[in-house]
Amino acid sequence: MYGRIITRFTSKEVLELIFAWVSLSMAFSLSFGAKGLHTFAIALLITGSAFVFHELSHKFIAVRYGREAEFRVWWQGIAVALFMAVLTYILFGPSGVFFFAAPGAVYVAPLVSSWRFAEARLINLKVEGMISVAGPLSNFVMCVLFEPLSRANLFDLSYVFKDVVFINVYLGLFNMLPVGPLDGRKVLAWSRLVWGVVFSAFLALYVLLG
């Protein structure tokens, strides 16, 4: 039953994923002081480590459970993110840049089942929860991988690794908020325990690294 759908990326999906990635990178690059292509390239790599892997994790897990899944850009979310980033940059400078990172999401087709409604609903809650938590967990893995590198000062890139850790913590924590279309709402609907553990882990990392 599971894993029979081949992971396909439509050209529209790829273009929208790239557009969202670039837009989020533009917003994040302002925290470096908007110093040109060099800082934008760094922001592109850092944001890619968090945002792209986050969204792909949703898609791959959805496909693993036999669900059609596609990334779709959220134009209003991109507009809000860029507006907030520019406004906070003007008001507070690079160190005060802040924005909501919600440029798009992976939309998963609902499960069609002949089971009784109550049983189908429970299955849906579990699968939706597992698909939703996959994104934040990918951010947590990136934090674990890059945190030691941020202390090693390899090739004078410790500041890059620190930013990789920070944006993964920020994106993971933000998405675990149990509100609106964010991952946290679906995870909480599936399992309070899983939501509590993952949210607490990100909150602790945010406090410790902040």
User: What does each C-alpha distance from 13 to 16, 43, 70, 120 come to in angstroms?
Assistant: 5, 22, 7, 29
Q: Which residue has the higher pLDDT, 138 or 122?
A: 138
Q: In angstroms, rounded to a whole number, what is the distance separating the alpha carbons of residues 2 and 71?
A: 20
pLDDT of residue 36: 75
Reported as type and span, the H/E element at residue 86 is helix 75-92
**Percentage of the chain modeled with pLDDT above 70:** 90
pLDDT band at 155 (very low <50, low <70, confident <90, very high): confident
Print the domain residue range for 123. 11-209
Concatenating the DSSP letter of every residue in 5-71 gives: S-----HHHHHHHHHHHHHHHHHHHGGGT---HHHHHHHHHHHIIIIIHHHHHHHHHHHHTT--EEE
Q: Which residue has 């989020």 as its token pair? A: 24
The answer to whether 70 and 107 have CB atoms below 8 angstroms apart is yes
Q: Is residue 36 part of a domain?
A: yes
Q: Is residue 48 part of a domain?
A: yes
Sign of the CA dihedral running 15, 89, 29, 143: negative
Q: Is residue 114 part of a domain?
A: yes
Q: Is residue 6 part of a domain?
A: no
The answer to whether residue 120 scores a pLDDT higher than 70 is no
Residue 88 contacts by C-beta under 8 Å, 6 or more apart in sequence?
Answer: 96, 97, 98, 99
Encoding tokens for residue 124?
């849906």
The answer to whether 88 and 98 have CB atoms below 8 angstroms apart is yes
Q: In angstroms, rounded to a whole number, what is the distance separating the alpha carbons of residues 161 and 159?
A: 5
Q: In angstroms, rounded to a whole number, what is the distance separating the alpha carbons of residues 210 and 193?
A: 25
Sign of the CA dihedral running 65, 18, 43, 26: negative
Q: Is residue 2 part of a domain?
A: no
When pLDDT is averaged across residues 159-180 and rounded to a whole number, the result is: 93
pLDDT band at 3 (very low <50, low <70, confident <90, very high): very low
pLDDT of residue 192: 98
**Percentage of the chain modeled with pLDDT above 90:** 68
Give me the number of domains the chain comprises: 1
Q: Is residue 40 part of a domain?
A: yes
- Lowest average pLDDT, out of 3-7, 39-43, 66-70, goes to 3-7
When pLDDT is averaged across residues 50-59 and rounded to a whole number, the result is: 96
User: What does each C-alpha distance from 97 to 21, 29, 115 come to in angstroms?
Assistant: 18, 9, 49
Selection from 27-41, 94-108, 143-157, 177-191 with the highest mean pLDDT: 177-191
Q: Is residue 1 part of a domain?
A: no
pLDDT digits (tens, 9 = 90+) for 7-32: 678 999 999 999 999 999 999 999 88
Q: Is residue 31 part of a domain?
A: yes
Mean pLDDT rounded to a whole number for the chain: 88
